[in-house]
């Protein structure tokens, strides 16, 4: 049986906060100032979480619980899939360009 992880919220610190900050950045949400990936959940991280929660119609409370965590994971999965699609399209375009110059 897996252990429930803690909710991540303002004034907490730790590796889970750093991971959250990293994942928010990958999702395109900027954490400004010295707080970016510093292991401390301050106002910058809270603002990014609030923005994400609002964008996806989640409860806007600035707390990263199970629902917000699942949304971040889903967002990262979509982002990764999109990257693979773009790489494939780019490879196809490059091949077409190479063939057209021969």
Local confidence pLDDT in tens for the 102 residues of the chain: 344 679 999 999 999 998 899 888 888 888 876 666 688 999 999 999 999 999 999 999 999 999 999 998 888 776 555 555 555 555 666 667 677 766
Of 6, 18, 21, 26, the residue nearest 66 (C-alpha): 6
pTM value? 0.71
Task: Quote the pLDDT of residue 32.
Answer: 73
Q: What is the CATH number of domain 15-100?
A: 1.10.101
Of 4, 8, 15, the residue nearest 52 (C-alpha): 8
């Amino acid at each position: 049986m897996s252990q429930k992880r803690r909710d991540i919220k303002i004034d907490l610190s730790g590796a889970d906060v750093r991971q959250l900050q990293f994942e928010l950045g990958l999702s395109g949400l900027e954490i400004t100032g010295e707080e970016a990936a510093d292991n401390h959940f301050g106002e910058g991280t809270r603002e990014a979480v609030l923005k994400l929660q609002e964008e996806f119609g989640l409860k806007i409370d600035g707390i990263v619980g199970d629902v917000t965590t699942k949304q971040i994971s889903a967002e990262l999965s979509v982002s990764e899939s999109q990257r693979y699609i773009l790489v494939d399209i780019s490879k196809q375009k490059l091949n077409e360009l190479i063939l057209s110059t021969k």
